[in-house]
Structure 1
Amino acid sequence: MKLPVYKSTVCTYANQMIEGTSIADKFEYGVVDNNWYFGFLDRYEIRTGNQRPLEPTRAKWCTSENMQKHYEVLADALVEAKLAVRNPDFDESDPDSCMIHITKPGRVLSFDETRLTMDCTDSSKSKQERTVKPDKDDDGEVLVNKGGGVASGVGGSTADGDSLAPLFIFGGADSYKAEWTQGAPRSTVIQEDTGRGVPATFYANKKGGMTHALALQYFKNNIATMFPDLSPENPIAVICDGHGSHLSCQLLTYCREVGIIIVLRPPHTTNISQGEDVINFGTFKPLFRTAKANRLLEKLNTGSKKLFLDMGDLMPCTTAAWEEAFSKEENRKAWAKIGVNPFTRCVYWELRGKEEVAKARVKKVEGVNLEVLTFGFKGKEPMSKAVAKQKEQSAAESLVRKREAAEKVELQRVAKLE
């Protein structure tokens, strides 16, 4: 279920189990204590750790069954499009065995969108973004930019590692200044006429995000133009999430006409199945945040009258971080991480492994009884050191209480004689 379980939860449940039984009498106040709790964790080799928030919808969809189906659908689509071939030696039970071999990785694509903001007021707990404190009295307060506008960046790659020409969407208005686009990141695909990477494209709207019309424009200007030989007989495959802007009638019609095959990922699984989320944007975000801090510091040091960041600072803060995040090395790493190139289906295997561990854990907990909960293992099975120490401590405390009681009785007897 992936529901949080706290120390108080475990102790409350244990107390409900022992309430009204002779076992409760063995504890000083009739309830379990810290020694029992940590002994319980030790006996069952249970560990504690920081929580990782997971939306219920993601928990519902991120299953090995759903990912297995996704890989099967994707494999069928790529083979049918003659972009891949079946592996005759494929072993369904071998995690290292590939279902298919992608023969034209340069024609298999993926893309996604991420939010960009010049605001830096949100505190970060990322290890890469921790500040150095000169002494213990330093509270970690630092100068950051507030506001400055929002935008979106659309990036992606081919399965052989080349990055797509990015699209940047400025928010707040239906237009943007040409100076905002200077020095923007480029694709790793080199143009023959210029000797430089394919340039980024730009757009602006109120929300600074993807729309139906803009998605169609992105497919035409940023994807199709990279494949001059594109046709229904020589197609490409685009793997993406099911965002509404990717599914308009106009876009689907266009893709069918020119030879673009769209394969959707399972809903709410992009955190594990989409290379941009798994690798690229994870690399980009900390670099982008650091670049914004350095940009603001540069303005402070040079005595600039403009001591804030706005859309004019977006590209200077974005370019180096974006090109590193979408380098060939990072792109190839992303495709391997989601189990598509090579086609290891590793996400399916990871989820399956976690599900098997969860089932084993449930069976383990179902075998717990009162005696095991309180005193450790039954029969000849050895108790853990924590449990043995607890029993030894309890015995010593019991002996002290008996001696105190005996001394009290003796004092009362002597008092009566006097």
Structure 2
Amino acid sequence: MPDDAPAYTDHADLAPTDFAAFEHLLAERRSDHPSIYPKWEMLLSSSTSPGGRWESSYALFHNPVRLAFAASSPVAEKLVKVFFDEDGRALPDRPRGPRPDSQLAKDLAEHLSGWSIEACHLAPGRALVELQEQTCGWGRGPWTSTTGPHDAADLTGPAGERLLAVQLAPNAPVIVGATVPEGVRPFDLGQVRPPAPLSTSDSTAAAAAIVGVIAPRYQQALWQARVASMTFAIDALRLSSARITGARRAGRRGSGDTFESEAARDRAAWRHIETALGTAPSVAAAIRASTVVEDHLDPVVHRHLQQLALTEEALTRLQEVRTGWRAAMAAFADTPDGSWLRRHAEDLRNQEAWPHARRIAEGPLTALAAHVTPRIGAPVPDREKQVKAALARAGNLPARPSPTAPATTAPPPPGRHRPTR
């Protein structure tokens, strides 16, 4: 779930008088009265009322007095984000603390082996808003920022599935739906077609629906989003490589223009490399898991599978380049000439990364991903049966004529008889 801590002031650092000021400022904004709280200033407020039904309200505040000294203050100015109920009362964030007790989480854990199941925080305000924000394919969750479900649990599956199970009231049906996939950028969420939430009678029926319906559909949606994101990045890397190759063939090899173009290519390629690092390892792992015996009997697919190891090695090298660059950036953060050192570190990162990125662009990932796409979310076939079926097909292949074995005793030439003893 998203974490506001780096961007907003922690509510634990505020006093009750601050929240009273926030409530009055919100009321003044709604009534257009002048502010009587100089310590705080409201920057904006927002209310969500889909279909005329109130759902949530929040406002952003800052301290204009502190802001005047922000230039000389070593601590950056932080905004305060506050959620309100329908009557304009502030909803201070409560400390998260341990996970609450959840009977729903316990019941689902009994039926879902291999899944990680955790109870959700359901405090009014930020916790309920985040629960809304993490849903994917629900439209809007059937709760508000002040009135949440009776019970809720986050579910993480063995294949990367991320689901949410809720009960709106005690003994109510269990609703299960998708949440935002991990490792998929917000830009790519438009390409995700998650399964629609299902309402089931109880936790036993919910577990059966998860295994049989929701999880396979989630795997397919997540796969499509990751492959689309990865393919876009790989196509961009291929295009960058083709442009430099075209410039060299045009007779500018070794010129300053080509060197400048290569440096610009390496610099522009990094954002596509970051995208590939976020998706390609998962795609490669899914290809490995989806490979069947028949793939090795197909000469084209078999050759691609042999090349896959080189692509995986290139991904490992790129991860090492990124790790080293991040460590260097952290080390240069407090140095006087840190900005120059950071630019130099980025140039080195780009130069080291490009050869590995080109190997990924020229590799078989997109072809293999297209090949195994129909298998994603399908039941895993029995390996022993696969081997037997492959051997049976191999046995039914037309036999090649074997070379004629030399005869131990040559037959006599025509018209002659063997001598008898």
Please give the TM-score of this superposition, normalised by the length of structure 1.
Answer: 0.24
Which protein has the bigger helix share? 2
